[in-house]
């Protein structure tokens, strides 16, 4: 089974969160990017963004799926 971790990078210029998969050898491959919420402060937009991000990372992680029975 392939296993990998995730690397998160925020591009300040584009205000995007870039997600990379990092394999056991340390090689990274681009997975996806998501625009950051435009509003400032902790609010419902940011809370929703954070929940979606966490859910997506769990579902994409083979190890998390195995350990959580997903």
User: What local confidence, expressed as pLDDT, does residue 8 receive?
Assistant: 97
Residue 21 has pLDDT above 60, yes or no: yes
Integer Cα distance of 5 and 19 in angstroms: 10
What band does 2 get if pLDDT is binned at 50, 70 and 90?
confident
pLDDT value at residue 1: 52
pLDDT at res. 28: 96
24-61 pLDDT, tens digit per residue, is: 999 999 999 999 999 999 999 999 999 999 999 999 99
């Amino acid at each position: 089974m392939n296993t990998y971790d995730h690397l998160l990078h925020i591009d300040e210029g584009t205000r995007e969160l870039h997600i990379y998969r990092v394999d056991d050898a340390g090689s990274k491959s681009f997975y996806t990017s998501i625009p950051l919420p435009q509003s400032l402060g902790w609010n419902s937009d940011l809370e929703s963004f954070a929940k979606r991000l966490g859910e997506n990372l769990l579902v994409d992680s083979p190890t998390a799926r195995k350990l959580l029975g997903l």
